[in-house]
Amino acid sequence: MDTLLDLLNSRPLVDGEERDALGDPAEGRRWAREHGGDGSLAELALLRETRDILQGIVRGETSPAALNPLLEGVLQIPEITSEGIQWTVRTPPAARPAVEVILAWAATEKQMPGRLRPCSNDECRLFLLDRSRANRARWCSMAVCGNREKARRHYERNR
């Protein structure tokens, strides 16, 4: 799940400017390697495409069916072990990190439906995974976006 959030949040706005951790080949290679990939150009292209589609899905702007082309040729193979059935994912090497993120998204949606969402701050592009019992988290960071929004509302009320 950490890689899922890291990928979704890899293109934030910093001081009003977009910063894409996968945009620069050297920076993208470093990001991919830190997340289990090899950082090839093909891998980075698939990670960017996956990120953009998943961001659209989480925002409710894109259908999950948009992921179908990224899953072509992917197989899940069962293997019987002493501990039961273990599933192995077989995919083209450059697609492996993107497929793993898609599987993490699917698992998150199944185990925690509706808890992966965009930050409620309109000026923020980050996403959050609400782990609270009440399922009421609204901001990627209470210290940053939450305080800004509360200060903005306070100012509006007292104006």
- pLDDT tens digits, 56-98: 999 999 999 999 999 999 999 999 999 999 999 999 999 999 9
Q: Read off the pLDDT of residues 97-111 as tens digits, 9 standing for 90 and up.
A: 999 999 999 999 999
Residue 143 scores a pLDDT above 70: no
Instruction: Give the position of tokens 């080949």.
Output: 25
| Cα distance between residue 32 and residue 49, in whole Å | 14
Q: Which amino acid is at 71?
A: L
> Is pLDDT of 154 > 60?
no
Q: How far apart are CA 111 and CA 103, in angstroms?
A: 12
Which of 41, 49, 87, 55 has its CA nearest to residue 70?
49
What average pLDDT does this structure show over 111-125?
Answer: 90
Q: What does pLDDT average to over the chain?
A: 90
Strands 75-81 and 84-90 come out as: antiparallel
Domain ranges of the chain: 3-113, 115-158
Is the distance from CB of 30 to CB of 70 less than 8 angstroms?
no
Task: Kindly report the number of other CB atoms within 10 A of residue 43's CB atom.
Answer: 23
Q: Are the C-beta atoms of residues 131 and 115 closer than 8 Å to each other?
A: yes
* Amino acid 140: pLDDT: 81
C-alpha span between 38 and 96 (Å, rounded): 10
Q: Which two tokens stand for residue 4?
A: 């899922």
Comparison of pLDDT for 63 and 122, the residue scoring more: 63
* 17-33 average pLDDT score: 94
pLDDT at 1: 63
More confident residue, 154 or 158: 158
pLDDT of residue 129: 92
